[in-house]
DNA sequence: GCCGTTTTCGGCCCGACTGTTTTCAGTCG
C-alpha cells in the first residue's frame, strides 16, 4: 500500500487536532501542523525519499523525531501517537473544532460536561437548551454555535481565484468611493494569486476606521455581519464568500499590506527574524521598543529585517526567506515576457472563433505567434480532427500566414494520448506540424503506475512536444488523476519534452508546486491558455501567476522566446 | 516538537473582536 504525502500530512494534522483537545503544548501542536504542510507541499513522494535513504530531518520543521515518525508511517501505514490519541477521544470530537466559534477549550467543555461526542450530539444539546447552562457559555453563545452550524456547516469552502475576483474588483472600487478612504487593496491569498481563495482580505487606509467599517457592513451584498469593531469587520456575502475588512492609518499602509497579504506561515517566519534583531513587526509598522522604524511601504518593512522585497506569490514560507537572505530570489516571469500562446482552439473542433479571429486577438495582445491546437479525432464530442481535416487546416494556416502581418499561426493539434500510450494521429501528419500538444482526455481512473506509463509511452513518440494539463484536475470538480509526477518530469527531461501550465481558471494545471518541481528538474514549461474563444487568451495572467508561485523565471518558460528561438527549443533530443 | 550569527535549553508572532467577565479567556486570522 503506497503512502501518499497527503496521508502523512493528514495524520499529522489529525494528531495536532487531538493534541489541541488534550491541551498539549501549543508549540508542539504547531510543529505537527508545520510538518504536515511541509510534507503536503513536498513535490517528491516522502515514501520514496524514505526508501531511498534520504534524511527527512533536513526538511524545514522536521527534526529527528518527526522524521522517524514519517519513516514509521511509510513502513507500517500507521502513526502510533495518533493511534494512542484516537483511543483517548471519541472519533467525532475533532469535527466539532470546525464549527465556527468552537475551539479546543469549548469542545472539551462540551464533551466533559454534557458528553457531546459529535455534531449530532451538539445539535441535540442545543435543541434541549443545555449548552446555555454551562459555565462560560450562555444563550447567546448557544445561538451563535447553532447559527454557525446551520449557515457554514463544518466544511471549509474555497472559491476559484477568478470567482473571487468577480467580487473583489467591484467591492474594492465601491470601497474606494467612500469618503475618507485613501487606498484600497485586496490582500490575502487573492494577492498571492493562489488558485483558490478562502476569503477576501481587504485593506483600506483612512484617518478614521469606524465610519468606513459602518458603511462596509451595510453593503447590499452583505448577508451577515460576523464581527465588527473599530478597525476591522468580518462579513459573509450572499455568495457565501467571507470578507475581512481592515482599516489602518495611511502611515501603516506597508506594514498592514504585508501583514494582511500573508501567508500566515511566511509572516510568522519573518516576525521571528525580526524578534532576533530586537524588532517587533505588527500591522502598524516595525518597532524597536516604542520607536517606529518603518511601515509606510512593504519595502521598508523588508529592509528593516535585512531582506530584499519578496513578491507576494512567493510568500508561502517555502524557502523564499532563505533565498532572500542569500540573494538568490528568482526574477519571476511576467505577463509582459510572454511572446505567444501555444494552446488554442477554433471552430474546427470545440472553439468558438475562426482561425483569423483567433489570430487577430492574439496579435492584439502583442503576441508573435499562436499555436492552433484543435482536438484530435478521438475526442468526438469536441468534433476532433482526423488526419484529413488536420491536413486541410494546415493548408488554411499556411495560406493565412501568407496574408497575416505581425503574427504567425503555428500548425499544431491537441493530440489525445490513447489508453495504450499511442498518440491519436499517425506520425505521417504529426511530422507536418510545428508542434504537438498532447493530453489525456479519458480513462482518468487508471492506477498511478499505469497512467504514468501511458504518458511516458506517449512521450516516446518523437513528435510529442508539450504535455498539456498534465494532471487533468478541474478545481473543485475533479481531482487530478493518479500520477507519479516525479517519473513524468524525469521522462520529460530525458526526452526533451515540455510541460504545460494550463491557464484555464478551473484547471491551473500544473499547479504551483509541480511547476517548481519541473523547474528544479530542468524541464521547460509552456504557459498556455487553452483558449476556446478569443476572450480566453486573457487567461494568460492566471497561468503566469501559477508560474510565479512556482518560482519560474522567463528562461524557464518556452513561450517567452521569439519565434525562431521557440522553434529551436521545441526540437526533441 | 523544532531550533541555534544571543542559545543544545528555553524560547517559539502578534493583535482584534466577542462575550462574560470586572480584568480576561477563547477564538480567529
pLDDT at A13: 95
A319 CA to B8 C1', in Å? 25
Q: Which residue is nearest to nucleotide B11 (CA to C1')?
A: A27
Spans in chain A with pLDDT lower than 70: 1
Q: Which residue is nearest to nucleotide B1 (CA to C1')?
A: A28
- Nearest nt to the CA of A277 via C1' is B6
Instruction: Identify the bridge partners of residue A375 per DSSP, sorted by sequence position.
Output: A414
What pLDDT digit, counting tens, does each position of A92-135 carry?
Answer: 999 999 998 899 999 999 999 999 999 999 999 999 999 998 88
Q: Which homologous superfamily does the CATH classification assign to the domain defined by A335-569?
A: Metal-dependent hydrolases (3.20.20.140)
pLDDT at A100: 87
State which fold the A253-326 domain adopts.
Beta Polymerase; domain 3 (3.30.210)
pLDDT at A156: 78
Q: Which residues, other chains included, contact A166 with Cβ-Cβ below 8 Å and sequence gap of 6+? A: none
A272 CA to B12 C1', in Å? 8
Q: Which helix (DSSP H) or strand (DSSP E) does residue A282 occupy?
A: strand A280-282
pLDDT at A289: 85
Q: How many CB atoms lie within 10 A of CB A180?
A: 14
User: And the C-alpha cell for A129?
Assistant: 437548551
For chain A, what are the domain ranges? 5-86, 94-151, 159-247, 253-326, 335-569
What pLDDT digit, counting tens, does each position of A531-561 carry?
Answer: 999 999 999 999 999 999 999 999 999 999 9
Q: Which residues, other chains included, contact A71 with Cβ-Cβ below 8 Å and sequence gap of 6+? A: A50, A56
- Report the CATH number of the A94-151 domain: 1.10.150.20
Q: Which residue is nearest to nucleotide B21 (CA to C1')?
A: A136
A5-86 against A94-151: fold identical: yes
| Strand B nucleotides with an atom less than 7 Å from a protein beta carbon | 1-3, 6-7, 11-21, 25-29
pLDDT at A1: 61
Would you say A482 and A450 are in contact if contact means Cβ atoms under 8 Å apart?
no
Q: Which CATH architecture has domain A5-86?
A: Orthogonal Bundle (1.10)
A136 CA to B21 C1', in Å? 9
A330 CA to B5 C1', in Å? 25
Q: Which homologous superfamily does the CATH classification assign to the domain defined by A159-247?
A: Beta Polymerase, domain 2 (3.30.460.10)
A101 CA to B26 C1', in Å? 9
- Nearest nt to the CA of A274 via C1' is B13
Pairing of strands A199-206, A242-248: parallel
pLDDT at A157: 85
Give the residue among A309, A312, A323 at the shortest CA–CA distance from A512: A312
Q: Helix, strand or coil for residue A236?
A: strand
Q: Which residue is nearest to nucleotide B19 (CA to C1')?
A: A141
A265 CA to B4 C1', in Å? 20
- Nearest nt to the CA of A31 via C1' is B1
The rounded distance, in Å, linking the Cα atoms of A387 and A430 is 9
A283 CA to B15 C1', in Å? 8
Instruction: Identify the bridge partners of residue A410 per DSSP, sorted by sequence position.
Output: A371
User: And the C-alpha cell for A269?
Assistant: 517566519
pLDDT at A151: 81
- Nearest nt to the CA of A32 via C1' is B1
Mean pLDDT of chain A: 94
What pLDDT digit, counting tens, does each position of A13-45 carry?
Answer: 999 999 999 999 999 999 999 999 999 988 888
Amino acid at each position: 500500500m503506497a503512502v501518499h504525502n497527503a496521508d502523512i500530512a493528514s495524520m499529522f494534522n489529525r494528531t495536532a487536532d487531538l493534541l489541541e483537545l488534550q491541551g498539549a503544548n501549543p508549540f508542539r501542536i504547531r510543529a505537527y501542523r508545520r510538518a504536515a504542510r511541509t510534507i503536503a507541499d513536498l513535490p517528491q513522494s516522502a515514501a520514496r525519499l524514505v526508501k531511498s535513504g534520504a534524511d527527512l530531518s533536513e526538511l524545514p520543521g522536521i527534526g529527528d523525531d518527526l522524521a522517524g515518525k514519517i519513516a514509521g508511517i511509510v513502513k507500517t501505514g500507521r502513526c502510533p501517537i495518533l493511534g494512542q490519541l484516537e483511543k483517548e477521544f471519541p472519533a467525532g470530537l475533532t469535527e466539532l473544532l470546525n464549527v465556527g466559534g468552537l475551539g479546543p477549550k469549548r469542545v472539551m467543555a462540551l464533551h466533559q460536561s454534557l458528553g457531546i461526542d459529535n455534531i449530532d450530539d451538539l445539535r441535540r444539546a442545543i435543541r434541549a437548551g443545555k449548552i446555555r447552562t454551562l459555565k462560560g457559555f450562555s444563550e447567546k453563545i448557544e445561538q451563535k454555535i447553532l447559527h454557525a452550524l446551520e449557515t457554514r456547516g463544518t466544511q471549509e469552502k474555497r472559491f476559484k481565484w477568478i470567482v473571487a475576483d468577480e467580487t473583489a474588483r467591484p467591492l474594492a472600487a465601491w470601497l474606494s468611493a467612500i469618503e475618507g478612504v485613501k487606498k484600497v487593496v485586496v490582500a490575502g491569498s487573492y494577492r498571492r494569486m493562489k488558485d483558490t481563495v478562502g476569503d477576501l482580505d481587504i485593506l483600506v487606509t483612512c484617518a478614521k476606521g469606524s465610519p468606513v467599517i459602518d458603511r462596509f457592513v451595510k453593503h447590499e451584498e452583505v448577508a451577515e455581519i460576523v464581527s465588527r469593531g473599530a478597525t476591522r469587520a468580518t462579513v459573509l456575502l450572499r455568495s457565501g464568500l467571507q470578507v475581512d475588512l481592515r482599516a489602518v492609518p495611511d502611515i501603516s499602509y506597508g506594514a498592514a499590506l504585508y501583514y494582511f497579504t500573508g501567508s500566515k506561515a511566511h509572516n510568522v517566519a519573518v516576525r521571528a527574524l525580526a524578534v532576533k534583531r530586537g524588532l517587533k513587526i505588527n500591522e502598524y509598522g516595525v518597532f524597536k521598543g516604542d520607536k517606529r522604524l518603518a511601515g509606510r511601504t512593504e519595502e521598508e518593512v523588508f529592509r528593516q529585517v535585512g531582506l530584499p522585497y519578496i513578491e507576494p506569490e512567493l510568500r508561502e514560507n517555502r524557502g523564499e526567506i532563505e533565498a532572500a537572505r542569500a540573494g538568490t530570489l528568482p526574477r519571476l516571469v511576467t505577463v509582459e515576457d510572454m511572446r505567444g500562446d501555444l494552446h488554442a482552439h477554433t471552430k474546427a473542433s470545440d472553439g468558438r472563433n475562426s482561425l483569423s479571429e483567433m489570430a487577430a486577438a492574439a496579435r492584439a495582445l502583442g503576441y508573435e505567434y499562436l499555436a492552433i491546437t484543435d482536438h484530435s479525432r478521438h475526442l468526438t464530442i469536441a468534433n476532433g480532427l482526423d488526419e484529413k481535416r488536420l491536413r486541410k487546416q494546415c493548408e488554411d494556416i499556411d495560406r493565412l500566414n501568407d496574408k497575416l502581418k505581425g503574427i504567425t499561426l503555428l500548425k499544431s493539434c491537441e493530440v489525445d494520448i490513447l489508453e495504450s500510450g499511442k498518440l491519436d494521429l499517425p506520425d505521417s501528419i504529426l511530422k507536418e506540424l510545428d508542434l504537438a500538444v498532447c493530453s489525456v482526455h479519458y480513462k482518468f481512473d487508471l492506477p498511478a503506475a499505469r497512467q504514468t506509463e501511458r504518458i511516458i509511452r506517449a512521450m516516446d513518440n518523437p513528435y510529442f512536444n508539450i504535455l498539456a494539463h498534465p494532471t487533468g484536475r478541474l478545481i473543485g470538480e475533479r481531482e487530478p488523476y493518479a500520477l507519479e509526477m516525479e517519473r513524468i518530469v524525469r521522462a520529460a527531461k530525458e526526452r526533451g519534452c515540455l510541460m504545460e501550465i494550463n491557464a484555464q481558471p478551473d484547471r491551473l494545471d500544473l499547479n504551483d508546486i509541480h511547476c517548481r518541481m519541473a523547474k528544479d528538474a530542468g524541464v521547460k514549461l509552456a504557459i498556455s491558455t487553452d483558449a476556446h474563444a478569443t476572450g480566453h487568451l486573457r487567461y494568460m495572467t492566471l497561468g503566469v501567476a501559477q508560474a510565479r508561485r512556482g518560482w519560474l523565471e522567463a528562461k524557464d518558460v518556452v513561450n517567452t522566446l521569439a519565434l525562431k528561438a521557440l522553434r529551436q527549443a521545441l526540437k526533441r533530443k
